Structures are given as structure tokens and as C-alpha cells.
Structure 1
């Protein structure tokens, strides 16, 4: 028994020493956790510090000016636009320039002055239901404070300002619509990235990759041969998940299927490129899996899957430009909830195409130069 314990202790010490003596292993133990902690600490937050608001004020009375000044003075709200006509509302919400629009009709101040109830219309971007609810609560708190003040001045026990909220694209603010559409992109990325990340590393571990390189086959064709299986598996996975989202979870698919599947193809192409880069650098399958997850976790956090990108610090927002999942989530949520088409989603297509070209080119260069 004693000898067995000593043997186990010896093996543990041997493994620990081998791990700590290896420079790359020490970096993996220290570097990525610190980097991910910094990314999570700044990017993953449900607080809204800069809510983009547009004001459509048809009334120029004292009460409306007081309400607008309270909203503008809130530390969590950034009033970006003053709307002069109703037709401007749609473009601001569609293009995600504002999170909500506050509409005051021409009789608002007059009704408050008489001690009568006056309505306030709040139009919310419902594509991110969690963010919309938080923003609605912020505005509700401001209106509640003013109601107390006005009711005290008018000696009234009734609420003078009544907020009527309406969410666009997700009328009931059903969080499942937002979460499930995000999971489509997340699961597709996980499967595609792991399949492609293991492709070259598996052959290196088995010793067959060197044999492949000395054949007359051009590295470009090797790259294509490694990329196609990942594309096919990712496409099949995406089709299955999209079908389940529509048929099982009853999420409305309002937009163009062509726009959706073009976005899926470009997203998969960029994911395959990143996976092949990881696979070309890694020597073993274990390293490839670790490399894939080191990319996956920050990619999910920076994509806006759960928390809004607009609430992240500027430096972190720049990092999101390198994340293909960011663009695909916009595409899939736009097609599902917004009815988006090719023309509307073009600004999301070309960044994924650029990421795909750069990552695939880099992976091809690594194959050609036999990076070990």
C-alpha cells in the first residue's frame, strides 16, 4: 500500500514538473485565464450605462421639457436624437442607432397642467428582450419620480403621466426568441470549429500529415480538402437547429431564406478558416481542442450573444470586429424577427468574407511552411 502511494505521488510530481518546465504549458496555465478574466470583466455586464434614446416631442410645454431634461440628465441615458417627424422613427430603430424612442403628443403638458392623466408612448427595440426590459425599467423609474412630484404639486392621488410601451419585432419581449436565435450561431460555431481544429492535428499525431505534405498535391488542395468536411457538417448542423427553432420553439422566420443561408455559409467559411489556423499550429489533438476553446469563449462573450456590444468599453468593442459570430448573430436575428433581406444585411456579410479570406490564407501559409 505504501509503495503504491509513493508511486502515485511520484507520477504526480513527474507530471507537475513536466508541465511547469514546458514554456508553452506555463503560458497556457497563466496567460489565457488572465486574458479571459479581463475580457469577461469588461464585456460581460447586464448594466446599461449608455442607453441610446430618441425624443419625438410634439409638445413644447413645461411638463414635456421637464420630462426631457430629466431623461437627458440621467447618467445611464444618452439622448442622441431629437425627432421632428414620425417617419424618422423606423430608420433609427431598424439601424440600431437607438434602443428606444420616447413620444410625447401635443396635449401632454396641457393635460398635466389640468391635473389629468397624459400618455407617454415608448417604442422599444425588442430584438434583444433583456436589454429592452432594462431600458424600459430605467425610463419607468424616471417617470415615476416625476409623477410623485407632479401629483404633489397638483394635489392629485392619480398618476398624471402614464407610460404605454410597445416593443418592435418582439412584441411580447419573449426572451426565448432572443436566446434560441443566438444559440443557433453558438452551436454551429462550436461544432465547425472543433471539427476543423482537429483535422490536421489528428493527422500530425498519427504521423500521416508529413506523408500528405510530400505528395504532389498542392497545399491549396489540401486546404480545400480539410475545409469542405467542416463546411458540410456545419451546414447540416445549422439547418437542423434552424428547423427546430421554427418548428419546435415556434420562433417566426419572417425574412429571406437566401439572406439567412448566405450568412450561414460565410459564417461557416470564417469559422473553418479559424479552425484550420488552430489545427495548423497545434501538434496534438489535445492542443487543438484547447486552442478551439480558447477562441470560443471570448468569441461568445464578444459577440453580443447575451450582453449588448454597445455597453462594452471602446477598446473591447474594437475587438468584436474580429469576431465572426458577432455578424452572424445580427444576421440571424434580423432575418428571424425583423424580416431582413440581402440589401439590409450587406454590412454584415463582407466582414465575415474578409475574416474568412484572411484566416484561410493564413492557414494555407502555415500548411505550406509546415509549422510545427
Structure 2
């Protein structure tokens, strides 16, 4: 056999060996198939800016046949769903703040009078600028419905006029919504990987067994492994915050202390997940694969880029176990709306619940796998 043939034979044998080693391992087979299916389905259902459901509220000060007719055009689209009929403009802030309504329509008391006189009849729309992409789309839908209503009524296009206002982001700048949301996302990526690698690296190097024979208790080891990734995550979040504040000039409306409290609680829940991954994984390569498997779904299901209300109902329920969803909601409200601790505190409950499950789970896995 020539030298070239022998080299090719060695390469062929090595390729077959690696393929068999990968495909015979059940965990490897799952890793090859499941991420593709999960990520493909998530991208297909969540990565969309098309609005299929717009919950809205209305302040009808006219209470006329014309105003009811105009609102029926919205309700008849199948996209707009009236979730509240308000009696005064003072109630608008409540339905916008708690995200009950994406859009509020205000019909003035002279709406029908202006229509009958052939004058312009303004209708005000107030949208939630904390998500400017959907706010702009919703306002655009209302404008197109108003145009169709004008043409049906008189063939004119200037009777009903939509005048839009955007709360919390008046200029509808996407950066104002997106950049503060990157603070927890970047921290999540760093903390999950660092916490995941902490134990796997020591196990691979053979030093974790030495750590277990020291006088340190499992709880002390767990805390010692958890604190460094949290501190690094806080530093990274601080760098991103400085970039948002001083480079992009996006003003923080709320409290800096509440913002950091939210980030800290979020990082605790992330480090518990990372340590659980590290306890399950056999080596650092598996940790990286598992982290990637968790990261992309957590980001897609967080509402970072696309609104959660656009997702199918099943995925909306799944988002309740995603700590990043609640971190992003809380940070956006603190940053853009100026929400206080009492307002965002309910978002801490799911994050603390995840930490209460994953941190003890990681400690149990350490003892179980190494006992």
C-alpha cells in the first residue's frame, strides 16, 4: 500500500471512529437533533413582527352612532380586541402601564358633529413606546382602517384623522427599547457560561475531588462557585449601562438602585441554572453545547426583539419559566417608564423561584454524582 493510500485509510478510519463515537452516545444523538428542532420552531413562531393581536382600550367621549361605527371597523378586523372601555382619559395610564392594552383610542365629543359638517374629525391614538416596532405597526393599522372608513363613508380621505402619541419613547426610537434590554441579555450569556464551566473545568482537571476533601461544606462550595460569576455579570452589566447612558445618551428615568437590584436577582437565577448544567455535564465541551441549547430559547422567548403577545398561547405559557422575560420587562419599565420597586417587585418572584429550585438542585447533583 502506497504512502498516500495509507494516509487516506488512516483518515477514513478516524472519521468512522469519530462518527461512531458520536452517534452511539445517546446524549450526542439528542444534541444533534433537538437543538435544530427547538430553534427552528422557536424562530418560526416567535421571530415575527407581524401583529396578529392588538389589545386596545377606548375613551369614547362622543357616544354616537358614528363613533360606534368607526370602532366596529377595528373590531371587525380580527386583529384588534377591545379589552377596556374607559370613562375618562385619566384611566389611560393604568391600562398602558400594566400592559393590558397596546393602544388606546380617544374619540372626542365633537367627532360626529365634525363628520356631519364635513370637517376633519381627529382621533387620538396613544401607544406604548416601550416596544416601538409594535407601537408603530399598531398605529399604522389604525390609520389604514381610518382611510378605509373615510372612503366607505363619503369617498373622501380626510374626514377622520389619526393623531398618534407614543408614551415612554416619544420619537419611537428602537434603540431606546433595545439597548436597555441588552443589559440582562449580555449578563445572562456571561454568567451562564462562567457558572457552567466552573465545576466542569475542575472536574476535567481533576481538582474538584481535592476541593471536596477540604473542610469546606457543600453549601460553602456552592456559594464560592456562585459569587464570582454574579460579580462578573454585574461588572458586565455596568459596562453596558455606561455605554447606554454616556455613549448613546439614553436617559435612565427610574432608580439606579432598583435597576441593580433587578439585575442582581436575575443573575442569581442564571447562576443556579449554570451550576446545574455544570453538574450534569461531563466536560467543558458539553457545557458549551448545553449553554447554547438554553441561551437561544431563553432569548427568543424573552420578548427582547418581538412581543410575547405575538407568540402562540403555548409558547406564552412557557415564557413564565424564563427569568429573562421578567428581567427585560422590569428593566424596560425602570429605564423608560421610571417604575419603582413596588411596581416591578412581582417580576422578582419567578426569578427567585427559579433560583430556589436550581441552586439546591446543583448542590444535590454535586453530592450525588461524586458520592
Q: TM-score, normalised by structure 2?
A: 0.96
Asked if residue 83 in structure 1 is aligned to residue 86 in structure 2, the reply is: yes
Q: Take 2:58 and 2:119, find their aligned partners in 1: how far apart are those partners?
A: 22
Q: Secondary structure at the match of 2:165?
A: strand
Identify the match of residue 22 of structure 1 among 20, 25, 33.
Answer: 25
Residue in structure 2 matched with residue 323 of structure 1 by the alignment: 322
Maintained 8 Å contact 1:270/1:353: yes
Deviation track 1:9-55 (CA, whole Å, cap 9, x = no partner) reads 22112111111111111111112321232233223322221101001
Give 2:343's aligned residue: 344
Superposed CA deviations along residues 287-344 of structure 1, whole A, max 9, x for unmatched, are 0111111110000011000111112122111111111111110111111110111011
Per-residue CA deviations over 1:335-369 (Å, capped at 9, x if unaligned) read 11101110111111122111111111111111121
Name the structure 1 match of 2:67. Answer: 64
Residue aligning to 2:204: 205
Distance (Å, rounded) in 1 between the aligned partners of 2:26 and 2:334: 47
2:301 paired with 1:298: no
**Correspondent of 1:120 among 109, 115, 123:** 123
Structure 2: runs of 5 or more not aligned: none
Q: Aligned pairs, how many?
A: 368
Whether the 8 Å CA contact 2:151–2:157 is kept in 1: the answer is no
Q: Distance between the aligned counterparts of 2:270 and 2:370, measured in 1?
A: 20
Equivalent pair of 1:99/1:132 in contact (CA under 8 Å): yes
| Pair 1:8-2:11 in alignment | yes
| 1:47 counterpart (43, 46, 50) | 50
Q: Could you say what the CA RMSD is over the residues aligned between the two structures, in angstroms?
A: 1.3
2:195·2:229 contact (CA, 8 Å) conserved in 1? yes
For residues 363 and 355 of structure 1, the distance between their equivalents in structure 2, rounded to whole angstroms, comes to: 12
Task: Using the TM superposition, give the Cα deviation of residue 150 of structure 1 relative to its aligned residue in structure 2, in angstroms.
Answer: 2.4
SS of the residue corresponding to residue 232 of structure 1 reads: helix
TM-fit CA distance, 1:371: 6.0
Aligned equivalent of 2:216: 217
Partner of 1:276: 275
Q: How is 1:86-165 mapped onto 2 (pairs within 5 angstroms)? A: 86-152=89-155, 157=156, 159-165=158-164
